[in-house]
Copies of this chain bind each other. A is one copy, B any other.
Amino acid sequence: MSKYCFGVDVGGTTVKLGLFSTEGDLLEKWEIPTVTEDGGKAILPDIARSIQKMMDEREMARDEVVGVGIGAPGPIDSEGTVYGAVNLGWGTFSIKKELQTLLNVPVEAGNDANVAALGEMWQGGARGYENVVMVTLGTGVGGGIIVGSRILPGATGAGGEIGHMHVNDKEEIACNCGNHGCLEQYVSATGVVRLAKEKLAESDRPSALRDTEVTAKDVWDAAKKADPLAMEVAEDFGWILGKALASVACVVNPEVFVIGGGVSKAGDILIDYIQKNYQKYAFTGCRGALFTLAKLGNDAGIYGAARMVLK
């Protein structure tokens, strides 16, 4: 008898769902809208209905379904309890218990960044490894820590929040979290643009980045073409992130770092700048860590969610 599992990735506007074989093949994926009205109380029933429909269509028996994993944007502990998810309207409750009651199959829940890390470990850039740190470079900086093939959620679901490591004592602008000098303020897409703008303002050196509405992509494109100013921005980016990841390695000593998120589309150049700085600051025993790019893109969440229900 074949066995299946479902992976669910709840976002602020759409819920992504995936049906997987327990071997890790994505058999089908689809989306439903996220209804955030009324404290997001329709979200889990909508998900349950959608999964039930898929099971009916495929004439799947309940005991063919190993379980349903679900990732959501908020702090979620190892028991599957979410402590508020602002973008979904959710307060504090057990996602695991509620969805289990609706579907009558085992459910596991985790923070979306952590779950994406697990997805990359299962079928993505970190396939074949068990101890993984994923860094998601998007509008903000997310992170996920995998230890012995399992998510490290932390005591209050804040495990892997490496975007909020303090890296600069002199910062005067506040991070979205309220602190000053968080990693995210420099190496997110927004952060890279800011580093570039500061560098442009320091002098009137010529650069492909001058007199344009600079994006993070522009910076990496220019750096690839050896634009000196863009290369300096890339160097600053790599120095700040490589140094921070060396500190992360002193804590969890991973086999591999996976770099994902929109900024990671820049490709291998990113790894080069991060890794050479990492090597400089890493503790001897951690220097062998590998660096790879994420491979699953927006599907990392459904992969990781599905993987959560496998032992």
Contact = CB atoms under 8 A, between A and B. Distances in A.
A247 interface: yes
Given A147-B147, A247-B165, A281-B179, A155 B78 contact: no
Contact of A246 (B154, B163, B166, B284): B166
A113 to B, nearest CB: 12
Interface string A147-176: 110001111111111111110000000000
A254 interface: yes
A166 B152 CA distance: 23
A252 B247 CA distance: 12
B156 A247 contact: no
Of the candidates A164, A177, A253, the one having the most CB atoms from chain B within 10 angstroms of its own CB is A253
Contacts of A159: 251-253
Interface stretch (A47-55, A218-226, A285-293, A298-306): A285-293
B161 A285 contact: yes
Contacts of A285: 75, 83, 154, 156-158, 161
Contacts of A166: 243, 246-247, 281
Contacts of A289: 155
A227 interface: no
Interface string A242-258: 01001111111111000
A178 B286 CA distance: 13
A131 interface: yes
A145 interface: yes
Contact of A156 (B148, B160, B243, B288): B288
B251 A156 contact: no
Given A78-B148, A154-B131, A289-B155, A250 B283 contact: no
Q: For the side of the interface on A, what is the size category?
A: 35 or more
A283 B148 CA distance: 25
Of the candidates A75, A147, A286, the one having the most CB atoms from chain B within 10 angstroms of its own CB is A147
A155 B253 contact: yes
A85 to B, nearest CB: 13
Interface of A: 75, 78, 83, 131, 143, 145, 147-148, 152-166, 177-179, 243, 246-255, 281, 283-286, 288-289
Which 6 A-B pairs rank lowest in CB-CB distance, beginning with the nearest? Answer: A154-B253, A158-B285, A164-B283, A158-B253, A155-B255, A159-B253
20 contacts: A78-B148, A145-B251, A147-B152, A153-B253, A154-B253, A156-B286, A156-B288, A158-B250, A159-B253, A160-B251, A160-B253, A162-B250, A164-B250, A165-B251, A166-B247, A177-B283, A177-B284, A178-B284, A248-B251, A251-B251
